[in-house]
Amino acid sequence: MTLWSLAKSHCTSLELSEAVARIAAAKLQAFSPKNLSNLFWAFATLLHSQDSRSLFAAAASTTMLKLSEFKSQELANCAWAFATHSPDFLDFVKAVSTAAVSRMQDFKAQGLSNLAWSCSKVRASDADFCGAIAREVHMKICVNNNKSNNNNFEPQHLSNLAWAFASCAINDEPLMDSLAREAMKKLPGFAPQGLSGLAWSCATLVRRDIQLLRALAAEAPASVRSFKMQELSNTSWAFATLSFCGQLNLFASFSKEIISRLDHFHVSSASRDTMISMAKQTLAAVWAFNFGGHLEPLFAKRAHELLLRIGRGLDEGKAVEVAYSVLALCNDRATYPEGLPQVALQLQDRLVIWKPPGWEVERTGEVDGSQPAQLLGYLQGLQGHRNQPLAFDAEHHYGFMHRLDVPSSGLVFTARTYEAYYDLAYQLTTGRLVRDYVVLCHGAIPQSCLKIDARIRWSKDSPLPSSVSPLGKPSITHMKVLAHASKGPDSFSLVAIRIETGRRHQIRVHAAHIGHPVVCDGKYTQPQQFLRDRTWCPRNFLHRYRLAFADREGVAREVVWPLPLDMKAVIAQLSPHNALSKEALSRWEGDSRPRDWQDY
């Protein structure tokens, strides 16, 4: 009870809290389930250091054996405490959720909310659990509402439940409809976090509930000053990606508030973490407003100026300690049969590198088998830590502005300073940093096929392929068919592509989605087709040939890299269908300089 009292009194002495916690941890076997759940709540409230992880681990081991003795609310409290402290306790929270499934009817509104939130937080939700909690919440809202105060769903409960199911990409229609109806009744009681969470959940599940969205768009501006920056950016993202037309007043009020915060942010007195967080949320807000067509010149100007100031602040010494990663790179060309990378353009603060096929930009964990060479090692060899610390800063992706799949070749942009990094991030977010590709696809793509607008879903923690899904993120690919050709009985299309969004494997997924997969794509082509492709095409035929951007003075620049020799050899094996196709293939096979995508 001592630790519980400290938590209730908002004790700020970490040393005292940890001392009491260690004493309590030594006596866990003697605690009743009720006292254990109170103890864990206090642990989560008071102990945030890495050193306290051992206390939670010991508590989890002891409690796992007693879960059948816990009441429903005690189970919910345990799950909340462990999920709040760390996402590492997956097994424990999963055990709690398993114990809860058969007793779901015993949980009150708060318990159901905490249980769903906790399981989603640590990714412990499974089909049985989600189905059970969805049915129980739906039943309690529809049948038991207003019978008991304990069964009333407060605004935070509704928001947490919506967030939990959206985070797991589970669009349970009866549940979400019930949550939406209940939220409509209580919307004035929602805090900014709840309003933002509801909007984010609707967008993540692509639920265009017009009544709810209209009510959210009307309610949010009234409390705009109380929104945190992340809540402003999340809400903006939600309405932008849903393309909801009734939000003009919301975007106007949010824009005014965000501009005010940008103007009043003081880089000189901000910590490194605060600066980076502000930069991330600023970029997120800019993306949302730009995607939704609401990015006004003043907003864009203020955001760009702040990002540059934050970059300069980091360059001037605010970066202090970063997680350095140093890679050794063998310079023996025989080690890399595809060749070594090359510097395509070197400016004082930014660099464009040509990545050969077979090289990975930075380790992602996606590649099976032998590990490919990393472009990061080449970059670090060029830079040196003392002069270019950004190349060793994992939090900023070592300065890389984008990735390029291992089997693909092409140009990769990297920043050499933090100021350049945030300048280029702004250009990428607003579409001013242009990426053009040339791709060879199976089949005869119609000349009328100019745009692919299909949402793409993927998991950052999974090596599984990306896929087109209604629950994916907005993804847009622009294309122009340059040539139609054949090889034996098979037809092909040479296509110039410009991407508006940069999702994982976007071009390859979209090409397969329209029935014209990229030639020699082992991940998104049928296995038999891939094996046939390998007999005449050595790798994935996808090459990023052009980058266009503005330098630090705002001068427009472009870097172009022709097709590598192995790709030209593939072109040489094709028979064009007509004169225009013959001319296009000849240009790419020869020494002609590739054009801006817009000029094709």
- Work out the end-to-end distance of the chain between its first and last CA atoms, rounded to an integer number of angstroms: 73
DSSP-assigned beta bridge partners for residue 495:
439, 481
Closest CA to 382 of 354, 423, 422: 354
What domains, with CATH codes, occur in the chain? Answer: 321-430 (3.30.2350.10), 433-600 (3.30.2350.10)
Closest CA to 277 of 237, 231, 236, 323: 231
Q: What is the pLDDT of residue 331?
A: 47
Nearest 10 degrees: CA dihedral of 507, 511, 514, 516?
170
Supply φ then ψ for residue 476, to 5 degrees. -130, 130
d(CA 63, CA 82): 12
**Ramachandran assignment for 250, one of left (phi > 0), alpha (psi -120 to 50 degrees), beta (any other):** alpha
Q: Where are the alpha helices (DSSP H) in 431-523?
A: 506-513
Q: What is the pLDDT of residue 291?
A: 94
pLDDT-flagged residues of the chain (< 70): 1-28, 43, 46-52, 144-151, 245-246, 318-338, 364-370, 383-387
**Ramachandran assignment for 375, one of left (phi > 0), alpha (psi -120 to 50 degrees), beta (any other):** alpha
DSSP-assigned beta bridge partners for residue 544:
410, 437
| Pair of tokens at residue 143 | 């049948």
Quick one: how far is CA 377 from the chain centroid?
Answer: 25
Q: What is the pLDDT of residue 137?
A: 92
Q: What is the pLDDT of residue 338?
A: 63
d(CA 254, CA 219): 12
Q: What is the pLDDT of residue 20?
A: 57
Q: What is the pLDDT of residue 361?
A: 92
CB 161 within 8 A of CB 113: yes
Number of H helices, E strands in the chain: 22, 14
